[in-house]
Structure 1
Amino acid sequence: MDILFKNSFILTEKLILECRVAFISKWDKFFSLLFLFTSLFGFIYSESNLTTKFISIYLMFMCVYLIFILPTLRSKKMYKRYLAINNYEQLLESVNFYNDIFEVISSNGSRVSISYKNLKKIYNRNNMLIFLCKEDILVFIKKDGFEHGTYNDFKNFILSKSNLRF
């Protein structure tokens, strides 16, 4: 089989954070921000009832925590887990795209072959594409990490193979 596209990158904590943020849905962000502003409004315009102000401050802190702090903490934990699995060596991942399948190859020797039919969703982030496959397998594609082929050609290729939009 001939390789149509090849993408390689070193998995870093920053890339994992970008991937974690992709899974916070737009509705979660919307409702969290709405709840944050409602709590802030309740704090500012409530009477000097100390209990109400304390609850408003607590709710504001929880919203900030869920939106901004939690994804960062989870990505750090995930990155440490990747490092521990790989004997604290950085993980180099390569993804080879063929006509019928794509193959994920890690520097630790693991290989996974996935059919394009198994793609459930494609997330488009600033520097990456994230493929969510059946059985909740995540595949990272760094936009500037193509060694064989270009990102624009790959984008057209993956849209035609998967029939998904991103």
Structure 2
Amino acid sequence: MASHRVQLSRRMSQASSDSRSHRLCRRRPNTCCFCWCCCCSCRNLSPEEVTAWSQSFEQLLKHPTGKNILMEFLRSEHSDENILFWLACEELKQEDHKATIAEMAKSIYLDYISILSPKEVSIDASVRETINKNMAMPTADMFDEAQMQIYALMHRDSYPRFLNSPMYKSLLQNVTASGNALDS
């Protein structure tokens, strides 16, 4: 049981740790693009990949660098709780150990569902009530309806703002310029 807690803590803090390192990179000179990236995972992006993100929100979320850039954008707007909740739900769905599911569900609940949470996500009251009832016997899919609502919210609201942001436009311009330079 203790090893599952340690494992859970490591996984939950990994995304936070990764994003912290990207934030620290933001101040370094000679980054390849406006976004933040000194580790320059965006150097390996093709113009087609970055353009595909504007065609499909799902493609953006499936691409590791795209997901990180979106997360950084949302963090800059102080609205990253939605993607963090969505990612936590995705991770919960991958778990099959009952005790770990219970711990992860409690953590997700306290971080994003509880009305006392500083990162509370905006979901319907009926969905919140269903989750409250299901906390007695947590399952890996207990947040599915809430996750769908948050996905729809991000798709409708955050995604268009991201595509119109200087961050995305600069990245697209830089990978397009890099791609053209390579073609020459």
Q: TM-score range by the shorter chain?
A: under 0.3
Is the strand fraction higher in 1 or 2?
1
TM-score between both structures, scaled by the size of structure 2 = 0.25
Larger helix proportion of the pair: 2
Larger Rg: 1
